[in-house]
Amino acid sequence: MNGSRIAAIGHYQPAKVLTNEDLAGMVDTSDEWIRTRVGIRTRHIAGPDEPVDELAAHAAAKALAAAGLAPADIDLVLVATSTAVDRSPNMAARVAARLGVPRPAAMDINVVCAGFTHALATADHTVRAGAASRALVIGADKMSDVTDWTDRTTCVLVGDGAGAAVVEASDEPEVGPVLWGSVPDMGHAVRIEGEPARFAQEGQSVYRWATTQLPPLARQACERAGYAPEDLAAVVLHQANLRIIEPLAEKLGAVNAVIARDVAESGNTSAASIPLAFSKLVEQGAISTGDPVLLFGFGGNLSYAGQVVRCP
């Protein structure tokens, strides 16, 4: 096998929806203030009895069903998350146990909002090397657990959810080469730290970095896969907020692409945001099998990772 492909994708969100009007009753904010600044209308919030591994397992089960596979067909489970409460067993092992995957390699990847695209690249490399034949790649976060619900600058942003992809060996590479990196000395710009852990960010620093430094990097990801931006059928960026997504997409020059804007409905779900938005585009029929799609994650650690994939 010369490469890997995404065989299927799935997503899951908790039933509870928190609206801007709900938030206006909790902190000094309004629907107009939130929409104007971040473009978010609603977000899904998990309950205390819905841990991250449950969200992840629901999304993974949907991806497996869409691929027509059983848990026993999987030999690698990768979970991108930054909201795991416990250190061991890790999230991947918990998800594997929930699904009944018998003997997988099971690893967590914590690159915050860029976690899914890092995990996808890791699965692609592992399958290409012959160390695994089929992988579950999951992005799942319960941001509500690490949010200060009295801080209007952050609580209006976040949501909970999960997305998952089945990655398998392929004669032709359908997961393109990754472009990834970070700005370690700017890691303080996005943080989940303290006791209890709380999400905080330097919004203006992140905005300037994302809208000025990332467009040429996203173009490089396209070039590595042999595509021009105008060849793309869809662009799925980390769903941070519309004020970042729209200018970044415009500067990229993907003039013929569908631009994922799931942030308006789901908020910022960190590592879940890219597979969640991608899965919805597939489910809605907005893109077709074989279409080239740019996935590009960015955020915590001021890390980034992107690749062009073929739509399953």
The residues, any chain, with a CB within 8 Å of residue 185's CB and separated by 6 or more, are none
Q: Which helix (H) or strand (E) holds 223?
A: helix 203-224
Are the C-beta atoms of residues 298 and 186 closer than 8 Å to each other? no
In one letter, which amino acid is 47?
G
User: Considering 20, 90, 241, 268, which one is annotated as catalytic?
Assistant: 268
The CA-atom distances, in angstroms, between 144 and each of 16, 29, 41, 87, 137 are 12, 18, 16, 19, 22
Task: Residue 52: count other Cβ atoms within 10 Å of its Cβ.
Answer: 26
User: Considering 58, 113, 155, 301, which one is annotated as catalytic?
Assistant: 113
User: Considering 20, 44, 238, 301, which one is annotated as catalytic?
Assistant: 238
Residue written as tokens 């657990």? 145
Asked about 113 being catalytic, the answer comes back as yes
User: Within 13 Å and on the Cβ side, how many CA atoms surround 282?
Assistant: 28
Q: Which residues are catalytic?
A: 113, 238, 268
